[in-house]
Structure 1
Amino acid sequence: MKKNSTFAMKRLTLLLLTTTCAVGLLASCATQSDLPVMSGKEAALRTAVFKGNLGEVQALLKEETNINAASKEGATPLLLAAQDGHREIVALLLERGADANQGMTNDGVTPLYLAAQQGHREIVTLLLEHGADARPARRNDGTTPLFMATQGGHREIVALLLSHSADAKQKTTNGRTALHIAAYYGHREIVALLLKHGADKSARMTTGQRPVDLARQQGHSALVPLLGP
């Protein structure tokens, strides 16, 4: 019964994604009439990717299929696979020429952004190895893959991104840096890592708060010596 309900939920989520309605991550909706016309093969590829069916994806890619076919707002097979943690499918799509930097057209969210957010370290590695850019920010708020990995406490991913030119000083639209986020959530190892890569302890949000102020506010007293005064 549980298996059937899980599959039913995945089918519902797939329907939402194919109408570009975000389920938590892909945030916005459109109707079926807003979608670009997809061939049957392209639609089948998206479905197979979403289900995590590697064999079906392999079979479909043997035929002439647009591997970067996307919804109106840019949800590609690679983006779906990266978000859901389907490492082997991500590897296959990249091997067959999927664009690692093709993001959502409404806000610029990329496969790397979603993989970093979800803590999929091996997928982050694959994307970076295939030319994914760690620097572009989400257009509506200025967050980056580095911000999302920091928020989730994914230290190894933070290290990977910093080693691939992610900017430790980059700010969101409200002036937050990754260091603000690490301080707020009490991620000591990430705080140290960001400082090692040039993060600015004195950076202020638009509200005037520094990373050390957020650490104090949240009761992370062990971080104050690192971030103080």
Structure 2
Amino acid sequence: MDPAIAGAISLKVGHPEPFEDEELGNIMTLGVPHARGISGLERCSSLQVLVLVGYGAGELPDLGRFPDLSSLKVSDSDLRDIGSVHEASALLSLNLERSLVSDVSPALECAGLRWIDVTGNPLSDVSYREVLPELRARGVDVRASQEREWSLTRALHEAGLPFAYYLHGDRHRLSRPGLTRTGSPEGGHIGIPPDELEHLLATSPEDIEPLFDDPNRTPGHL
């Protein structure tokens, strides 16, 4: 069992491993920080709500193992491929904030989907300009970056910086999704105005990542 999965389950059931199949089968909601895989999670077959924060894998787990799953959040993550999302036949809500997803078209196969958030992802032109409008036309409540923030996220990735640029309230923030560059990707997001970021991308993109260690910047958790 992945250590992060085991830790989250331990908090849920009140004791460390080993876990009984019956108590795992009774878990309906689970939040897991910093899992690098989902080994062992399949034993929680009654899950309805799953939250993976700082998920370190590039693909979604086999969601067909969770027939009752209605809400899935995978945020601040290394997630790139959501091809298996249609296997979650009961899925109503999908949150992929600040991850590395470029192709969101598999969401079109989720017949019951009612809400999706893809803010801070480097979506392809097709996903941003065609797939998201189609989801909206189907009645899905779509949350996504505005044009400028999306374009800057794409530009960061093209510069070899797999970061997320997004608007939180009235402040623009920059984050490093996944577990490759930081052990706590949900925290340490820094404020940077779009004009400044555009200038750095055009003149010295190598100076962007060191900003996370700049004591004059105020990092914070969401």
- Structure whose residues are more often strand by fraction: 2
- Structure whose residues are more often helix by fraction: 1
TM score, norm. by length of structure 2: 0.39
TM score, norm. by length of structure 1: 0.38
Structure label with greater radius of gyration: 1
